[in-house]
Amino acid sequence: MSILGAIKRLAAVGAVVLAAVSLQPTTTASAAPAPVVGGTRAAQGEFPFMVRLSMGCGGSLYSSTVVLTAAHCVGATGNNTSITATAGVVDLQSSSAVTSRSTKIYRAPGYNGYGKDWALIKLATPINLPTLNIATTTAYNTGTFTVAGWGAAVEGGAQQRYLLKASVPYVSDATCNSASWYNGAVITTDEICAGYAAGGTDTCQGDSGGPMFRTDNSGNFIQVGIVSWGDGCAQPRSPGVYTKVSTFASAIAAAAATL
């Protein structure tokens, strides 16, 4: 990654959520739904696999006792009881929220701040809600994706009480790496870009670690990305960058089996 100003989308350090910027489209084909102001509220139960983590990140239920999130959200692999996972609600102040403390962290081996941006959190007690399957092949790595989170609704803004959602289209590596987008050759082969040329819709600070997902051939949700980083939020020709889950599917499954 060579671009200056690229940021992880972690709430504590100025990172990822649903943006609230209204921009004029550059072309009809690349236009974001206008106007977009931080996405729209998700309905209760719409995405039951969504998890909010107490350090200011998102995640998804890989299993009832394992949360999949971003490596930059957590510390080194090992025992850790400092994280609280909240699930089962779109309103974080709801009395119906289900919570569980962490017991261990597994951070992707070799993670050094760039690429390999995935991690697992082991929970002390099960969260018995639907889980989110992960993509094991590249078959679902294009198309239109859904992103959701409790992150900022504007760049640099406050975290949200209610879960927000938005749709973002796939952006090819060639386009994302072009000089007019991310200034050339910054997106690695284990990352996916998604967003609009005009900007206006994006993940933002506090969305880090949350899932980017779509439906599979059976109509079920499948996770294809993990919110990782971006150049601000919802800026033109600067789409969100997501960890490509299919690249790490085998490693994720193997690591989860050890927790």
60, 72, 100, 202: which one is catalytic? 72
Checking DSSP bridges between strand 133-134 and strand 221-231, what pairing results, if any? parallel
60, 100, 102, 208: which one is catalytic? 208
How far is CA 186 from its chain centroid?
Answer: 19
What SS3 state is found at 64? Answer: coil
DSSP state of 118: -
202: annotated active-site residue: no
| CB environment 197-234: b (16+ within 10 A), e (fewer) | bbbbbbbbbbbbbbbbbbeeeeeebbbbbbbbbbbbbb
60, 102, 117, 202: which one is catalytic? 117
Instruction: Please report the beta strands in the chain, taking only residues with DSSP state E, as ranges in sequence order.
Output: 6-8, 40-41, 50-53, 57-63, 66-69, 78-79, 84-87, 98-107, 119-123, 133-134, 144-149, 164-171, 191-194, 211-215, 221-231, 240-244
Contacts of residue 217, Cβ cutoff 8 Å, sequence gap at least 6: none
117: annotated active-site residue: yes
Is residue 226 within 8 A of residue 74, CB to CB? The reply is no
231: annotated active-site residue: no
Is residue 19 within 8 A of residue 38, CB to CB? The reply is yes
Q: Which of 12, 55, 19 is nearest to 231 (CA)?
A: 19
Q: What residues act catalytically?
A: 72, 117, 208
